Structure formats: structure tokens, C-alpha cells
């Protein structure tokens, strides 16, 4: 049982839902990312999702795309992010997932990535452009090393797909609340409740909802029927709005605390 599993077990015992915060690693720099992770752990964020900057993202909307481009301009690479996780592991036990694409892992070396990620204290990986049936051996090796491979389901997922992902996903199931890329939305999908209920018929694993969540009201709505919520673009936008401010970490953390309070 790794940190993700332990956190969800703890949340279930306490009758609480998970709040998962996404930030782009290295935006605006790795020092700020480190401070944000530590502050998130302090204010009660349950899991941190660290976005690995990539030049050709499949699932990211404009806000996260821009943050990735800025991080890439500063030469933030996968090895830097892994070393950052290792550094924060000396201070906090908060579960950390990497949200990355397959290309950075492939270029880094799959076996090397597994060894390094395990050594640094990574708990899970989310790889939007790697369907689990496409590289089964890599996914088996990740899971065997104690790193959860977190898989997606969406509004267009068939019943067959729901059953398959329910079997192979580890840690939790990431439910994409809408068709399209990440980004803040004013309203949640009308069929969100029924789609999550459908998934939960076939799995005991936690189902967490992401994509489009940007307000405290939406977080509260999702808590009623899902096991957790993932907020990304709204947090990254708050970082962007405060770049250069000496109290950036304080302001972003206050915003996150307001979302999950």
C-alpha cells in the first residue's frame, strides 16, 4: 500500500473526500513549485499532481499549455522534477503523482524512469496519451515497483471500457468530466452524476473528477457523489496572475484553501 492508497483509506475512515491540486512543475520556477507543494501539504491538500512540461500536450488547455511552455523555456526537464520530489520527501509525506506524456518517459528511458521515480518517492503517474493496453509490460513494471498507474474514463467511455479501466487502474480512477481539454468551465456537465454512478457500479476504487473544475461551489457539488476532485487550470491561472508578487505562494495557497474548505 503506497501513499495514495493510505491517503484514500484515511479519508474513508474520516468520511472525507480527496482534494487533488495540480501545478505545472517549474512554473514559474522549481523553487516556487517546491514551496507550493509544501504549503499545500500544510493546508490540507490530499494529493499533489505535478505536471511535467511537454511541447505537444494532448489533454492540456491553453492555461496549462502556456505554463508548460514557460517552464520549458527555463529548461525544466523530467530529471529536475524527479529530484524535486526527492527533495520534498525529506520534509513531507504528501502523495505525489506525475502527470506526464509518454514521450518524456520514452526519451528518459522507461526502466531508468521507473527506478528513479521509485527512488525519489513518486507515488503515481498519469499518462494521457498511453492507453493501458498499449504498453502492458511498462505498466506492470510501474505497478510492481509500487507506482500507481492512474487511468482515465470519460463521458464517451463504453461499458466495456469502464470495466477494463476499473480492473487496471491503480490508486484512483481519473474521470474526465467533459469532452475536450483542461480548462476552467462555468458549469459542470449535466450527466456528470449519472456517469460517475455508472462507473462506481463496477469498481471499489476511488473515482475522482477533473477537467473544468474551478470554483468552491463546483468542488462541493462533486464531493456529493465522487471520491475526490482535481483542480488544475484554476490554480495555474492563479499562479500566473501573481507571478512577480513576493507573496505568490501565500495567495495561491489561500485560493486553494478556499476551494477545498
The CA radius of gyration of the chain, in Å to the nearest whole number, is 17
pLDDT of amino acid 5:
96
Q: Is the pLDDT of residue 259 over 90?
A: yes
In order of 3, 155, 242, the CA distances from 174 in angstroms are 17, 12, 29
Asked if 68 contacts 54 with a C-beta cutoff of 8 angstroms, the reply is yes
Q: pTM for the whole thing?
A: 0.94
CA 198 to chain centre: 22
Note the residue count of the chain: 261
Copy the grid coordinates of residue 115: 527506478
Lateral strand order in the sheet of 148-150:
148-150, 124-126, 96-99, 47-51, 18-24, 228-231, 207-210, 173-176, 152-153
Residue 57's pLDDT band, with cuts at 50, 70 and 90, is: confident
Integer Cα distance of 151 and 139 in angstroms: 11
Asked if 45 contacts 258 with a C-beta cutoff of 8 angstroms, the reply is no
Residues whose CB falls within 8 Å of the CB of residue 165, separated by 6 or more in sequence, listed in order: 132, 151, 152, 153, 157, 173
Which helix (H) or strand (E) segment holds residue 200: the answer is: helix 192-200
Asked if 37 contacts 92 with a C-beta cutoff of 8 angstroms, the reply is yes
> Which residue is catalytic, options 5, 46, 49, 260?
49
What average pLDDT score do residues 29-52 get? Answer: 98
Integer Cα distance of 47 and 18 in angstroms: 8
Can you identify the CATH homologous superfamily of domain 3-260?
Answer: Aldolase class I (3.20.20.70)
> Which residue is catalytic, options 14, 42, 56, 60?
60
DSSP state of 242: T
Give domain limits for the chain: 3-260
Q: pLDDT (tens digit, 9 = 90+) per residue, 180-233? A: 444 444 556 678 999 999 999 999 999 999 988 989 999 999 999 999 999 999
Would residue 60 show up in a list of annotated catalytic residues for this protein? yes
Integer Cα distance of 150 and 114 in angstroms: 15
Amino acid at each position: 500500500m503506497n501513499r495514495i492508497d493510505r491517503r484514500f483509506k484515511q479519508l474513508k475512515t474520516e468520511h472525507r473526500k480527496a482534494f487533488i491540486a495540480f501545478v505545472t512543475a517549474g512554473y514559474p520556477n522549481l523553487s516556487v513549485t517546491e514551496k507550493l507543494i509544501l504549503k499545500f501539504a500544510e493546508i490540507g491538500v490530499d494529493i499533489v499532481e505535478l505536471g511535467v512540461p511537454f511541447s505537444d500536450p494532448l489533454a492540456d488547455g491553453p492555461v496549462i499549455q502556456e505554463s508548460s511552455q514557460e517552464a520549458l523555456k527555463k529548461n525544466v526537464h523530467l530529471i529536475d522534477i524527479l529530484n524535486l520530489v526527492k527533495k520534498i520527501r525529506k520534509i513531507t509525506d504528501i502523495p505525489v503523482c506525475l502527470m506526464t506524456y509518454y514521450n518524456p518517459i520514452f526519451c528518459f528511458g522507461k526502466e531508468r524512469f521507473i527506478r528513479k521515480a521509485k527512488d525519489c518517492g513518486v507515488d503515481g503517474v498519469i499518462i494521457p496519451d498511453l492507453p493501458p493496453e498499449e504498453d502492458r509490460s511498462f505498466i506492470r513494471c510501474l505497478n510492481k515497483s509500487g507506482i500507481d498507474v492512474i487511468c482515465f474514463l470519460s463521458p464517451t467511455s463504453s461499458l466495456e471500457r469502464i470495466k477494463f479501466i476499473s480492473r487496471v487502474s491503480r490508486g484512483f480512477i481519473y474521470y474526465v468530466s467533459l469532452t475536450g481539454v483542461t480548462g476552467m468551465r462555468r458549469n459542470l456537465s449535466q450527466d456528470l452524476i449519472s456517469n460517475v454512478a455508472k462507473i462506481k457500479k463496477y469498481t471499489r476504487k476511488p473515482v475522482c473528477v477533473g477537467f473544468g473544475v474551478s470554483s468552491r461551489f463546483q468542488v462541493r457539488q462533486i464531493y456529493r457523489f465522487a471520491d475526490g476532485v482535481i483542480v488544475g487550470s484554476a490554480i495555474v491561472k492563479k499562479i500566473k496572475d501573481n507571478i512577480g508578487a513576493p507573496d505568490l505562494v501565500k495567495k495561491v495557497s489561500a485560493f486553494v484553501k478556499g476551494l477545498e474548505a
